[in-house]
Amino acid sequence: MELTNDMIRQLAQLSRLHIEEADLPRLKEDLGKMIHFVEKLQELDTTGVEPLLHMTDNVDVLRPDQLSPSLDRSTALAIAPDADDQYIYVPKVIKK
């Protein structure tokens, strides 16, 4: 598959990424290597190979839900970088 700069720009737009024009040649080369790697993998004969769902036979191994000691409110508020007598304040993450 031959990559073009227009294809990379379209991928960047769909990914909501800002790419500088100077970075296009390097990205084109890197994406080409990735595509070549996937094409090589498609050449492998996987007849009779079961799909791997988990790395081990242990599926969904959970610890027992047990009560354990934690910080009390006054200690947590005392060590927080920004707090009042009741709440810990954190920076806004979602901006609208």
**How confident is the model over 29-59, as pLDDT tens digits?**
999 999 999 999 889 998 998 888 777 777 6
Query: Is residue 44 classed as helix, strand or coil in its secondary structure?
Result: coil
Number of structural domains (the chain) is 1
89 contacts: CB under 8 Å, gap ≥ 6: 80, 82, 83
Domain membership flag for residue 32: yes
Exposed, middle or buried, 19 (CB in 10 Å: 0-12/13-18/19+)?
middle
Whole-structure pTM over 0.75, yes or no? Answer: no
Q: What residue numbers bound the domain in which 23 lies?
A: 5-42
pLDDT at 26 over 90: yes
How sure is the predictor about 82, in pLDDT bands with cuts at 50, 70 and 90?
very high
Within a domain: residue 61? no
Residue 84 makes CB contacts below 8 A (sequence gap 6+) with: 77
